[in-house]
């Protein structure tokens, strides 16, 4: 049978337990403080996989986009403002990654902060322009592209982006000039050639349009839009076999390219291959259910089938 301890002994044991508890708590707090200091001074936090500040942009470049976004956001949340040596670079890269994820609003917040930290930073305003376009603000987008070009007049992508906005606004002559500048600054870039093909087509200059589309395909053979647009010009010139070849190539590259399926259907229908034409009209309509043209073409082709 246990005997009761003397009162003095029980008090001493209680005091020991209390002091031991405080000691453990203090020890844990010391560890936490050490980790926090380590993170702030070295840019890394064991257990969370945070990499040093200077390595974060290279992590994103390595292709691990989601992890890079998480780590950059965590770094920016934990660090005190102004203590990150390359904060502008990190926010610029984070904004670009968020744009690629379709998060234009969040990207804009980081890019604006990057612009404040580095007003002459190359690429920041181009990305702000892209974000503005995604948010449905073409006027602001144009202003950002123009600001980017004041900082970096050789930026071919910014010239092409500005041209796209001007084309949207119906300012075809100015758009053409912007696309020409983009092409001259980067002759190996297919996008300006594709853009020039579109604007020259709209200005009823099919020969110039075709030349630029051929150049776009030479630079980027897997560009479905360039093949489709060149096919349209060739068809207008009565070169249906060549047109059909480019449209077929467009749907090989991108089976979900609705306009090319519709175009193929038109040629096949004209050649009397009604069943094959119907199949392509169906595909076009499935891809673009709101296409009135594809719906009309399908209805007409199906009527031809019934009349046989």
Q: How many angstroms separate the CA atoms of 87 and 68, rounded?
A: 14
Question: What ranges do the domains of the chain cover?
Answer: 241-308
CB atoms within 10 A of CB 55: 14
Segment 72-95 shows an average pLDDT of: 74
pLDDT for residue 62: 53
Least confident of 87-96, 130-139, 166-175, 181-190: 87-96
The residues, any chain, with a CB within 8 Å of residue 100's CB and separated by 6 or more, are 65
Does residue 153 register a pLDDT over 60? yes
Q: How many angstroms separate the CA atoms of 277 and 262, rounded?
A: 8
pLDDT in tens, 197-226: 999 999 999 999 999 999 999 999 999 999
pLDDT for residue 84: 63
* Matching residue, tokens 């050490």: 34
Q: Binning pLDDT at 50, 70 and 90, where does residue 179 land?
A: very high
Output the CA angle 256-260-261, nearest 5 degrees.
70
Q: How many angstroms separate the CA atoms of 210 and 218, rounded?
A: 12
Domain 241-308, CATH class in plain words: mainly alpha
Residues making up the chain, counted from first to last:
308
Q: How many angstroms separate the CA atoms of 5 and 213, rounded?
A: 97
Q: How many angstroms separate the CA atoms of 240 and 79, rounded?
A: 63
Mean pLDDT for the chain overall: 82
Helix/strand/coil percent split, the chain, to 5: 75, 0, 25
Q: How many angstroms separate the CA atoms of 284 and 263, rounded?
A: 9
pLDDT in tens, 117-129: 899 999 999 999 9
The residues, any chain, with a CB within 8 Å of residue 51's CB and separated by 6 or more, are 43, 44, 59, 71
């Amino acid at each position: 049978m246990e005997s009761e301890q003397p009162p003095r002994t029980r008090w001493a044991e209680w005091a020991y337990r209390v002091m031991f508890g405080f000691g453990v708590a203090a020890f844990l707090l010391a560890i936490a403080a050490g980790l926090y200091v380590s993170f702030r001074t070295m840019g890394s936090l064991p257990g969370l996989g945070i990499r040093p500040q200077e390595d974060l942009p290279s992590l994103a470049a390595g292709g691990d986009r989601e992890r890079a976004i998480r780590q950059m956001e965590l770094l920016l949340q934990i660090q005190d403002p102004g203590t990150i040596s390359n904060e502008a670079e990190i926010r610029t890269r984070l904004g670009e990654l968020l744009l690629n994820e379709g998060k234009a609003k969040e990207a804009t917040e980081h890019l604006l902060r990057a612009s404040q930290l580095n007003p002459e930073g190359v690429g920041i305003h181009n990305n702000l322009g892209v974000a503005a376009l995604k948010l449905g603000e073409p006027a602001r987008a144009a202003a950002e592209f123009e600001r980017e070009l004041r900082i970096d007049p050789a930026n071919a992508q910014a010239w092409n982006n500005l041209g796209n906005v001007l084309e949207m606004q119906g300012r075809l002559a100015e758009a053409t000039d912007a696309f020409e500048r983009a092409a001259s600054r980067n002759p190996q870039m297919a996008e300006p050639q594709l853009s020039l093909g579109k604007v020259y087509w709209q200005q009823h200059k099919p020969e110039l349009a075709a030349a630029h589309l051929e150049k776009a395909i030479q630079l980027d053979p897997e560009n479905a839009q360039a093949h489709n647009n060149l096919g349209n010009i060739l068809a207008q010139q009565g070169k249906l076999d060549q047109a059909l070849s480019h449209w077929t190539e467009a749907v090989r590259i991108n089976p979900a390219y609705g306009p090319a399926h519709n175009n193929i259907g038109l040629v096949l229908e004209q050649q009397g291959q009604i069943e094959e034409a119907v199949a392509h009209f169906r595909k076009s309509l499935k891809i673009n259910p709101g296409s009135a043209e594809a719906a009309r073409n399908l209805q007409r082709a199906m009527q031809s089938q019934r009349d046989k």
